[in-house]
A and B are shown apart, each in its own frame.
Chain A
Amino acid sequence: MTVVHETKSLTGNDAVAIAALYAKPEVVAAYPITPQTTIVEKLSQFVNEGKLDAEFVIVESEHSALAACMGAAWSGVRTFTATSSQGLLYMAENVFWTGYGRLPIVMPVVNRCLAPGWNIWPDFQDSMAFRDAGWIQIYTKNNQEVFDTTLQAFKISEAKEISLPHMPCLDGFVISHTTAQADIPTAEDSYEFVGPYSDPVVEIDVDNPWAYGAMTGPDQYSQNRKDLIAAMERAKKKIVIVHKEYEERFGRSYGNGLIEPYGDEVADLTILSMGTIGEESQEAIDRLKEEGMSVNAARVRTFRPFPTEDIVNVAKKNHKLLVIDRSASFGHDGQLRIEVESVLKRYNVDTPVVGRLMGLGGEDVPYSMIMNEVKKVLKE
């Protein structure tokens, strides 16, 4: 099958907006926040130009942006919004309500650090604060991947057996505002891939009235949460399946969709990281290998559900792990490191793990910096 696509130079935010356009959401809610704003600006343009036939709700806060999407999702239509940083925090209770309520809303998060002080540059503190909110979280490395991920997000999340909200994550500015090339499939092919949202789990029906989110006793409540845990496990498989389907159709993939290994299968040291640092790590690996070192990398793409088995396999094969976190759980460690160590312990894998906090508050992390850290760790 010949795939028709166009190679475009576009920003990460434009890539997200085009993916959303092609998925044809019926209700879009929007509130501005840097560096997310240009996504919803673009979508409002699409609606104005008649390219996107959606209700565009210009709300008065992020709390209401997600709330409006929730109302639309309960009505059984495809919905979309996007946010960042303080905006995501302002939505907080609705973020949890959406996850625990199993509403398949797609909401890209343009990662930006949290105040104080005011700083608009990227780190993962914002989305990491919501790792327990019942959302799928996929961290992307570049403009191409964020397009692919956003498109796949609808198909994964809206599947009846999944019905979970989805945060494709992209580093603020480094992806969101940087122009780069990406292969964009046609609108028709994109929509054909995603398909309509035809079989929602929840749909308001006046002839069959239900109360959603009513008072719930411990028995039913704990059952609901266990169902959520099970849905996340199913999502782990679904991400791989949809990612594979996408690869078959459009010829692009990122590892198995959960993690993206890079370089030799076995090495003295493996870098585990996420987002654009993951891409920069790949550059570092190439150069370190030129210097004769035995190193490889695995970029953790899917953080929720956590790719436990894949991490364990990587750790089993390699001799040491360097985990780079772009966010911290204060009083403990970087979240990725905490979770990697936890799964290794559970599966009795004794590969040593070293952690580094890098890129907080938008600190630039070039491959040279990663190379230096690798050299230090290999000496330890």
Chain B
Amino acid sequence: MTVTQKDLLSIPKKAILKGHFACAGCGSALAFRHAIGSIADKVILVVPASCASVYQGSGKGVAFNVPTINTAFAASDAVASGISRAMKKKGKEDLKVVVWGGDGSAADIGIATEIGACDRQENILHVMYSNNVYGNTGGQRSGDTMIGAKTATTPDGNTIPRKMVPFIMMANNARYVATATVAYLEDLVEKFQKAISLEGFKFMQIDSPCPPNWRSESSDSIKIARLAVQTGIWPLFEWNRDTGKAVISRPGKKYVETENRTPITEWTNLQGRLKSITAEQLKELKSDTERQWDFLRKFL
């Protein structure tokens, strides 16, 4: 299925209504609008503690227009498993169970639950929107934070390499794994649609700029996300268990070769969290980025 710009502009049913609490320039809310919007009449959403548990709105004024189960931080994939099994018992397997959470849950506190659901091949899709930080609690380092990034708990810049969650899910025999970005929404929705069409545990990681924590301009979110692909920071790919192969997605094809990439500083310069990255940290960031590519190349 090919998703075009026209498809993006004609969402059949709005999944997120006005009155949501997302910040201006929020990547996650934008991805939500288009991805969840593309299946809004047949989705059950499970949301761990995350920005999404806040930006859905509050009390009776919740802006999510789809059934939404909020769960404890580490509980989502197990709750989603229970829903998916119950729906199977009720003969409602056409309903798609989607976990929508950030990197704090997906890379850190909830990763055991996620791997458990993956091992069991629960029929769910986990969408990890990456803002590389515990955004909801004021911007602390997560297992997905970029090297060099200043956060509330790494004031001199993060030094720990990122946890490569998509590869962890591949190693655990997920049905389908993909990365995506709000800079290329057609690609994102296409992958989302493919993921939900498959049986078993699917995983997607979405680069989701976060202006307050990245200390970037709201109007730069898409630009920053695009530069993440062009600099090689954000490899865009999908992997399917059937073939065991990874395929680099069209918008990212050119940047497999390092000589085609835009200098990383063009990406860092737009973000307060990375603006004053040291030469040493920049070297480490590049090496951590290459580590991901080296891993990915083994599957190409």
Residues of A164-219 at the interface with B, using a CB-CB cut-off of 8 Å, are 204-206, 209-217
In the complex, the answer to whether B87 meets A93 with C-beta atoms within 8 Å is no
- Complex CA distance for A69 and B79, rounded to whole angstroms: 7
In the complex, the answer to whether B79 meets A206 with C-beta atoms within 8 Å is no
- Residue A55 contacts which of B57, B67, B85 (CB distance < 8 angstroms)? B85
- Residue B59 contacts which of A58, A59, A69, A216 (CB distance < 8 angstroms)? A216
Q: Is B53 an interface residue (CB 8 A)?
A: yes
Contacts beyond the supplied A71-B82, A75-B82: 18 A-B pairs with Cβ under 8 Å: A26-B86, A55-B88, A59-B81, A60-B115, A60-B116, A65-B78, A70-B71, A70-B79, A73-B82, A74-B69, A74-B82, A75-B87, A77-B90, A93-B75, A206-B44, A210-B68, A214-B62, A217-B59
Give 6 CB contacts A-B under 8 Å. A26-B86, A71-B81, A71-B83, A94-B75, A204-B83, A214-B56
In the complex, the answer to whether A97 meets B86 with C-beta atoms within 8 Å is no
In the complex, the answer to whether B62 meets A60 with C-beta atoms within 8 Å is no
- Residue B112 contacts which of A60, A73, A210 (CB distance < 8 angstroms)? A60
In the complex, the answer to whether A212 meets B69 with C-beta atoms within 8 Å is yes
Task: Give the chain B neighbours of A63 by CB distance below 8 A.
Answer: 74-75, 78, 113
CB distance from B38 to the nearest CB of A (A): 15
Q: Is B253 an interface residue (CB 8 A)?
A: no
Q: Is A79 an interface residue (CB 8 A)?
A: yes
**Hey, what's the 0/1 contact readout for B94-134 against A, CB within 8 Å counting as 1?**
01000000000000000011011001100000000000000
Q: Is A274 an interface residue (CB 8 A)?
A: no
- Complex CA distance for A173 and B67, rounded to whole angstroms: 43
CB distance from A81 to the nearest CB of B (A): 10
In the complex, the answer to whether B42 meets A209 with C-beta atoms within 8 Å is no
- Complex CA distance for A209 and B36, rounded to whole angstroms: 14
A-B contact count (CB 8 A): 150
- Residue A213 contacts which of B70, B80, B82, B116 (CB distance < 8 angstroms)? B70
Q: Which of B78, B79, B90, B119 has the most CB of A within 10 A?
A: B78
CB-nearest residue of chain A relative to B96? A206
In the complex, the answer to whether A213 meets B69 with C-beta atoms within 8 Å is yes
In the complex, the answer to whether A215 meets B57 with C-beta atoms within 8 Å is yes
Q: Is A27 an interface residue (CB 8 A)?
A: yes
Given the contacts A61-B113, A220-B59, A210 and B67 also touching, CB distance less than 8 Å: yes
CB distance from A253 to the nearest CB of B (A): 34
Task: Give the chain B neighbours of A205 by CB distance below 8 A.
Answer: 67
- Residue A67 contacts which of B68, B79, B90 (CB distance < 8 angstroms)? B79
Q: Which of B64, B71, B82, B95 has the most CB of A within 10 A?
A: B82
Q: Which of B41, B53, B58, B75 has the most CB of A within 10 A?
A: B75
CB distance from B12 to the nearest CB of A (A): 13
CB distance from B23 to the nearest CB of A (A): 16
CB-nearest residue of chain A relative to B60? A220
* B interface residue count range (under 10 / 10 to 19 / 20 to 34 / 35 or more): 35 or more
In the complex, the answer to whether B85 meets A213 with C-beta atoms within 8 Å is no
Task: Give the chain B neighbours of A214 by CB distance below 8 A.
Answer: 53, 56-59, 62, 68, 70
Q: Is A315 an interface residue (CB 8 A)?
A: no
CB-nearest residue of chain B relative to A212? B69
Q: Is A266 an interface residue (CB 8 A)?
A: no
Measured CB to CB, the residues of B under 8 A from A are 41-44, 46, 53-54, 56-60, 62, 64-72, 74-90, 95, 112-113, 115-116, 119-120
Task: Give the chain B neighbours of A220 by CB distance below 8 A.
Answer: 59-60
In the complex, the answer to whether B82 meets A67 with C-beta atoms within 8 Å is yes
- Complex CA distance for A58 and B120, rounded to whole angstroms: 8
- Complex CA distance for A35 and B18, rounded to whole angstroms: 51
**Hey, what's the 0/1 contact readout for A32-61 against B, CB within 8 Å counting as 1?**
000000000000000000000011011111
In the complex, the answer to whether B78 meets A67 with C-beta atoms within 8 Å is yes
* A interface residue count range (under 10 / 10 to 19 / 20 to 34 / 35 or more): 35 or more
CB distance from B30 to the nearest CB of A (A): 20
Task: Give the chain A neighbours of B79 by CB distance below 8 A.
Answer: 67-68, 70-71, 74
CB-nearest residue of chain A relative to B84? A71
In the complex, the answer to whether B46 meets A71 with C-beta atoms within 8 Å is yes
- Complex CA distance for A75 and B69, rounded to whole angstroms: 10
In the complex, the answer to whether A72 meets B75 with C-beta atoms within 8 Å is no
CB-nearest residue of chain A relative to B72? A93
In the complex, the answer to whether B64 meets A97 with C-beta atoms within 8 Å is no
CB distance from A298 to the nearest CB of B (A): 38
Task: Give the chain B neighbours of A54 by CB distance below 8 A.
Answer: 89
- Residue B82 contacts which of A58, A60, A79, A211 (CB distance < 8 angstroms)? A79
- Complex CA distance for A76 and B89, rounded to whole angstroms: 11
Residues of A288-315 at the interface with B, using a CB-CB cut-off of 8 Å, are none
- Complex CA distance for A210 and B60, rounded to whole angstroms: 9
- Residue B78 contacts which of A64, A93, A216, A217 (CB distance < 8 angstroms)? A64
- Residue A209 contacts which of B66, B112, B116 (CB distance < 8 angstroms)? B66
- Complex CA distance for A77 and B89, rounded to whole angstroms: 9
CB distance from B105 to the nearest CB of A (A): 13
In the complex, the answer to whether B82 meets A209 with C-beta atoms within 8 Å is no
CB distance from B258 to the nearest CB of A (A): 39
Q: Is A29 an interface residue (CB 8 A)?
A: yes
In the complex, the answer to whether A215 meets B72 with C-beta atoms within 8 Å is no
- Complex CA distance for A59 and B68, rounded to whole angstroms: 22
In the complex, the answer to whether A97 meets B72 with C-beta atoms within 8 Å is yes
In the complex, the answer to whether A72 meets B83 with C-beta atoms within 8 Å is yes
- Complex CA distance for A69 and B67, rounded to whole angstroms: 18
State the 8 A-B residue pairs at the shortest beta-carbon distance, nearest first.
A71-B82, A60-B116, A67-B78, A75-B86, A64-B78, A213-B70, A55-B85, A68-B82
